[in-house]
């Protein structure tokens, strides 16, 4: 997967400054004759390990890790199945991030975004991503990536092409080259097959990313700037599948659904809190995806429509709330939501009834104070 998005001026400035610092350090190292190449290489590796350790430390502290035990243990077990020789050494963690992404650090820490995890259908698809990230670690891709850029930049500096060197410096924290990504894909494919997974599942994660990019109108080039584009990657996986005669294997749909249940609603809530309404609608309007969710999931669809608020969305949200009330009559949030809809439509009696029902079902709900306020607002209407 990709590592960095150079989005803002701030990020770009940071990237340039960081890169220049790295170059200065490396030039300083070069000028000291005692440091031979091997020692420099060890220093680089140590620096990458330090960075990774610091990243781990920060992530564990800053509330960005999804901590549910069942899901975490499951992901780790799949990673161990794909790379048994690195049992528990390639450490998988889940990030509370709705973007479809995963990343690998130099110390073998793998970060899997909740958003990507929630889009997958089965264990074989999960294994594809884990195998891909594991491949970045095993093949030391970060080290290769940085060394290559450093070398390119030094050549440009020697040529006197400072601007070009700065361009290369900007790539320092961006994703891997196409070659490294292809290598990771190929190796992942090999490991998946070796672990007994159905290799036909391998392109699906990328297909989902493509659908997501379209739903959010995000340009592929932005999110996957350093990757071969998604269509090309899907094609290359398909080509790999075609080369293999025996393609069947373990899919693991039930195990996947059972072990990842708790994160699906967490992901919907995350999408709402990031205003990613299009993504949420894409998930829940898809019948194949919808069945993976609990019966009260239409409530979240309603919330996404209400907050997106495009033409026709308010009616769609109303229907989704009604649907939830029919399916799960004791799910309190639907009554708060439909109450607000009624209140806005000036159907005050319906609104009052809905708010009262909400408070009866969930008097200590985090939104109870708002509901009491709305009830007070329409008291005399």
Partner 1 sequence: MRLSSSSRQLIIISLSCLILAACNHFKAKDTNEKKSQVTGPKKKFTVKLPTDWIRKISDRKSVTASKDGSEYQLIRVSYLSHKKSFKTIKEKSNADMLPSELAELMIAKIRKSKLTRYARIIENKPASIGGKKGFRLKLSFKSPRGEKYLREVYGVTAKKGNYFIIYQAPAKRYFKQHKGDFNKTLESFRLSKKTKQF
136 contacts: CB under 8 Å, gap ≥ 6: 104, 142, 176, 180, 184
The distance in angstroms from the start CA to the end CA of the chain is 55
Contact code string over 290-319 relative to partner 1, x by CB under 8 A: -----------------x------------
Residues 317-376 that bind partner 1 (CB under 8 A): 340, 344, 366-367, 369-370, 373-374
In the complex, least distance from residue 119 CB atom to partner 1, rounded to whole angstroms: 19
CB of 311 vs Zn ion, minimal distance in Å: 39
Among 28, 50, 67, 345, binds partner 1 (CB under 8 A): 50
- The two tokens of residue 101 are 């992404």
Q: Does 282 bind partner 1 (CB under 8 A)?
A: no
Q: By CB under 8 A, how many residues form the interface with partner 1? A: 42
The two most distant CA atoms of the chain are separated, in Å, by: 85
* Dihedral angle sign, alpha carbons of residues 354, 359, 365, 371: positive
Residue 142 sits in the site that holds partner 1 (CB under 8 A): yes
1 interface partner picked from Zn ion, partner 1, none, CB below 5 to 8 A per type: Zn ion
327-349 burial: b if 16+ Cβ within 10 Å, else e: ebeebbbbbbbbbbbbbeeeeee
Shortest gap between Cβ of 59 and partner 1 (angstroms)?
9
d(C-alpha 290, C-alpha 292), whole Å = 5
Give the nearest distance from C-beta 187 to partner 1 in angstroms. Answer: 21
Distance CA 294, CA 330 (A): 14
CA-to-CA separations, 277 to 121, 188, 308, 337, in angstroms, rounded: 21, 32, 6, 16
Q: In angstroms, what is the minimal distance from the CB of 80 to partner 1?
A: 24
- Minimum distance, C-beta of residue 151 to partner 1, in the bound complex (Å): 18
In whole angstroms, give the CA distance from residue 173 to residue 251: 35
* Contacting residues toward partner 1, per CB under 8 A: 3-4, 9-10, 13-14, 17-18, 21-22, 47-48, 50-52, 54-55, 58, 61-64, 96-97, 103, 105-106, 142, 173, 272-275, 307, 340, 344, 366-367, 369-370, 373-374
């Amino acid at each position: 997967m990709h590592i960095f998005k150079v989005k803002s001026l701030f990020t770009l400035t940071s990237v340039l400054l960081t890169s220049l610092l790295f170059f200065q350090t490396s030039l300083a190292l070069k000028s000291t004759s005692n440091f031979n190449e091997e020692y420099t290489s060890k220093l680089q590796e140590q620096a990458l390990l330090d960075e990774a350790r610091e990243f781990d430390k920060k992530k564990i502290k800053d509330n960005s890790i999804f901590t549910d035990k069942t899901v975490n243990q499951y992901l780790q077990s799949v990673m161990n199945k794909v790379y048994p020789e690195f049992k528990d050494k390639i450490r998988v963690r889940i990030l509370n991030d709705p973007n479809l992404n995963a990343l690998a650090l130099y110390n073998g820490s793998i970060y899997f975004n909740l958003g990507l995890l929630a889009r997958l259908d089965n264990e074989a698809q999960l294994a594809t991503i884990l195998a891909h990230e594991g491949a970045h670690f095993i093949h030391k891709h970060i080290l290769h990536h940085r060394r290559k850029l450093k070398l390119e930049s030094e050549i440009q500096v020697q040529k006197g092409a400072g601007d070009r060197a700065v361009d290369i410096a900007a790539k320092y924290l961006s994703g891997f080259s196409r070659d490294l990504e292809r290598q990771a894909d190929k190796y992942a494919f090999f490991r998946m097959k070796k672990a007994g997974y159905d290799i036909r599942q391998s392109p699906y994660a990328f297909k989902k990313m493509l659908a997501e990019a379209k739903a959010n109108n995000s340009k592929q080039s932005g999110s996957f700037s350093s990757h071969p584009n998604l269509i090309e990657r899907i094609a290359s996986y398909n080509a790999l599948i075609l080369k293999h005669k025996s393609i069947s294997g373990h899919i693991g749909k039930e195990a996947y659904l059972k072990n990842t249940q708790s994160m699906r609603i967490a992901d919907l809530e995350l999408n709402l809190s990031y205003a990613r309404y299009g993504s949420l609608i894409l998930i829940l309007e898809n019948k194949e995806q919808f069945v993976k969710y609990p019966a009260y999931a239409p409530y979240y669809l309603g919330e996404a429509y209400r907050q997106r608020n495009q033409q026709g969305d308010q009616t769609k949200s109303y229907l989704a709330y009604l649907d939830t009330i029919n399916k799960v009559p004791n799910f309190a949030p639907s009554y708060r939501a439909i109450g607000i809809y009624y209140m806005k439509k000036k159907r005050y009696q319906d609104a009052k009834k809905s708010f009262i029902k909400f408070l009866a079902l969930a008097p200590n709900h985090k939104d109870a104070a708002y509901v009491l306020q709305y009830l007070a607002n329409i008291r005399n209407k």
